[in-house]
Amino acid sequence: QVQLVESGGGLVQAGGSLRLSCAASGGTFSAFYMGWFRQAPGYEREFVATISRYGSDKFYSDSVQGRFIVSRDNAKNTVFLQMNSLEPEDTAIYYCAARQITTSKFPYDYDSWGQGTQVTVTS
């Protein structure tokens, strides 16, 4: 399994931006499809975005489409989530995850998870 560490979370006002990073180690990064998920208190973990192994395919949830951008730098073993026009409803712990074979929107398909980074958006 690959080890994942997220960073970049914080407190931001509505309308602001944050850029999350997820650094991977212990595996061949380009072999993994990467996903971003989030979990708010009292809610189940939900899909945010996913990116294919070389970044050619990207998928987003309807709630973040047009505001968030997922990217990756395989030379740096890192995947990013650029979050723009943030809303209070985006407040959650954000997790990155890795899997092989293909991309997926379902948390249970992913084998490796980071510890998460808190994002709080104030109104």
Per-residue pLDDT of the chain (123 residues), as tens digits, is 899 999 999 999 999 999 999 999 998 999 999 999 999 999 999 999 999 999 999 999 999 999 999 999 999 999 999 999 999 999 999 999 999 989 999 999 999 999 999 999 999
State the Cα–Cα distance between residues 112 and 102, nearest whole angstrom: 14
Q: Which residues pair with 35 in a beta bridge?
A: 50, 97
Tell me which residue of 106, 119, 120, 116 sits closest to 35, measured CA to CA: 106
The pLDDT, as a whole number, for residue 27 is: 87
Amino acid at 120: T
